[in-house]
Every structure is written in structure tokens, then in C-alpha cells.
């Protein structure tokens, strides 16, 4: 199994600013994913964070708005750039092992943009 | 196109009832996950399936590759099972798609 620490757990931000969310895994994992969950909605995959290469973004999400870093096999960051109230959401990371395919989730970061 | 359809959207049951949640997907998945999200927001992976059936306590997950369908069953449901259940399909191109979720409420 893997334990994922995600921070901040919540934040309130001003329009136009940027926030970086960190995701730390207690073991090396092959895959890390970032998601958004808007109020009352299911999860939407933002991107897959690849170690040693650029992240792979889903349709509707772009690197300029959601830059992602994956410097090693245990850590990733997601930045929400130039925020607007529409970015208010819960952002979650998950990690998966290529072998078993299990997924482990962080607790989520609840972002409110004023 | 990679899609996941989940039903029902909402489900209310009495304690002790047998519950089934369904998930349909497109061709080409490498694995299907069942996730549980409690009101506090934390998500737990219940099962990862690529074929057959898995059981953990009162939870059973099945997948039928030919019919492109998976089900999550809860036997002897309990109020603590109240949560949102989400199926997630991992496609062979590493694309992951989520069902809309099923909000389950089990009444005592």
C-alpha cells in the first residue's frame, strides 16, 4: 500500500493569484494523477504526472493553467495559475503502482477563490 | 471514445438490504476501479478488477469483459456504507474515465 500526504488541505485565495498543491507518497510509485472534483460532481482527471517527462493533460486542461511537476517517484505538484472563482474546487492526487494497478488517494485540497 | 456510465445516480436503502451499483464502459480497458468517497471527502479504492470477481467482507465486485459491464454489490447493508461510490476505467492508453458516482444512503 501507499500513504499519500497532500497539502494544503484547504486554502482561500484571491482572484489572479496562483496556488501550488503538493502530493507526497511514502513509497516509489510509477503513476501519479491529478483530479478536480467540483461541488456535487464526480472526479475529473486533469493530467497524468510522468516522472522525467512532461505531464499528459486531458482534454480541457492545459499546461499554462495547470503546470505540473514530477521531480521524482515520490512527489508531484500541481499549480492552479491565475485563479478565478470558477477554479474553486477540490483537487486530489492519486498514485498507482504499475504492477498491481491499485490506486491510492490523497485527502484532497479544497480551494476557494474569491 | 472512452466513456463510463454508472447507475443509479442516487440510491436509498434500508439497513440489511442487498445493494447493486452498475458500471458500463467502452472497449479497451486494462482495469476497472471501484472507489468509495465518504462525506468528509476522502477516497478509498475498494477494488481493482481486470476480470472475474473479487470479495472483501460484505463487498463484492464483478466484471464481465464481454458485456463491458461491472457491478458492485453490498450485502447486509449498513448505515456506515452510506457514501458515494465511483467506478473508474483505466483504458489501455492510460486514459482514466470516471462514472458520475452513485450516492448511497442506507437508513437504519
Which pLDDT does position A6 carry in this prediction? 95
8 Å CB contact of B98 and A43: yes
The pLDDT tens digits of the residues spanning A79-94 come to 999 999 999 999 999 9
What is the full DSSP assignment across A11-28? EEE-TT--EEEEEEESS-
- Please enumerate in sequence order all residues whose Cβ is within 8 A of that of B72, keeping only pairs 6 or more positions apart, or say none: B20, B21, B23, B34, B46, B47, B59, B60, B61, B85, B87
DSSP state at residue A58: P
pLDDT of residue B23: 97
Q: Which three cell numbers stand for residue A53?
A: 517527462
**For residue B108, what is the enclosing H or E element?**
none
Q: Give chain A's residues under pLDDT 70.
A: 97-101
Q: Which residues of B touch A (CB under 8 A)?
A: 30-31, 33, 35, 41-45, 48, 50, 84, 86, 88, 90, 94-101
With a cut of 70, say whether residue B2 has pLDDT above it: no
Beta carbons within 10 angstroms of residue B78's beta carbon: 13
Who has greater pLDDT, B15 or B26?
A: B15
Query: B48–A107: do the CB atoms touch at under 8 Å?
Result: no
- Write out chain B residues lying below 8 Å of A101, CB-based: 30-31, 48, 50, 90
Kind of pairing between the strands at A75-80 and A68-72? antiparallel
Q: Determine how many CB atoms are found less than 10 A away from the CB of residue B108.
A: 7
CB contact under 8 A, A108 and B41: yes
- Give me the pLDDT at residue A100, please: 61
Say what the pLDDT of residue A42 is. Answer: 84
Asked if A50 has any chain B CB less than 8 Å from its own CB, the reply is no
Of B88, B94, B100, the CB nearest to A48: B94
What is the pLDDT at residue A98? 59
Q: pLDDT tens, B36-68?
A: 998 777 899 999 998 999 999 999 999 999 999
Amino acid at each position: 500500500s501507499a500513504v499519500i500526504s497532500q497539502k494544503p488541505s484547504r486554502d482561500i485565495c484571491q482572484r489572479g493569484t496562483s496556488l501550488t498543491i503538493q502530493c507526497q507518497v511514502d513509497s516509489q510509485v510509477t503513476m501519479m494523477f491529478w483530479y478536480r472534483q467540483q461541488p456535487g460532481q464526480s472526479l475529473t482527471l486533469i493530467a497524468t504526472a510522468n516522472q522525467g517527462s512532461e505531464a499528459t493533460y486531458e482534454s480541457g486542461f492545459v499546461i499554462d493553467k495547470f503546470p505540473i511537476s514530477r521531480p521524482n517517484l515520490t512527489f508531484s505538484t500541481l499549480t492552479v495559475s491565475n485563479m478565478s472563482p470558477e477554479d474553486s474546487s477540490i483537487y486530489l492526487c492519486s498514485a498507482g503502482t504499475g504492477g498491481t494497478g491499485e490506486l491510492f488517494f490523497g485527502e484532497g485540497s479544497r480551494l476557494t477563490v474569491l | 471514445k472512452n466513456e463510463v456510465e454508472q447507475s443509479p445516480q442516487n440510491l436509498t436503502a434500508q439497513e440489511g438490504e442487498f445493494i447493486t451499483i452498475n458500471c458500463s464502459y467502452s472497449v479497451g480497458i486494462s482495469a476497472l476501479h471501484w472507489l468509495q468517497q465518504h462525506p468528509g471527502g476522502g477516497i478509498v479504492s475498494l477494488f481493482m478488477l481486470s476480470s472475474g470477481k473479487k470479495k472483501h467482507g460484505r463487498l463484492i465486485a464483478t466484471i464481465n469483459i464481454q458485456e463491458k459491464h461491472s457491478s458492485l454489490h453490498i450485502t447486509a447493508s449498513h448505515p456506515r456504507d452510506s457514501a458515494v461510490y465511483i467506478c473508474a476505467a483505466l483504458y489501455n492508453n492510460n486514459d482514466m474515465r470516471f462514472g458520475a458516482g452513485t450516492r448511497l444512503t442506507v437508513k437504519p
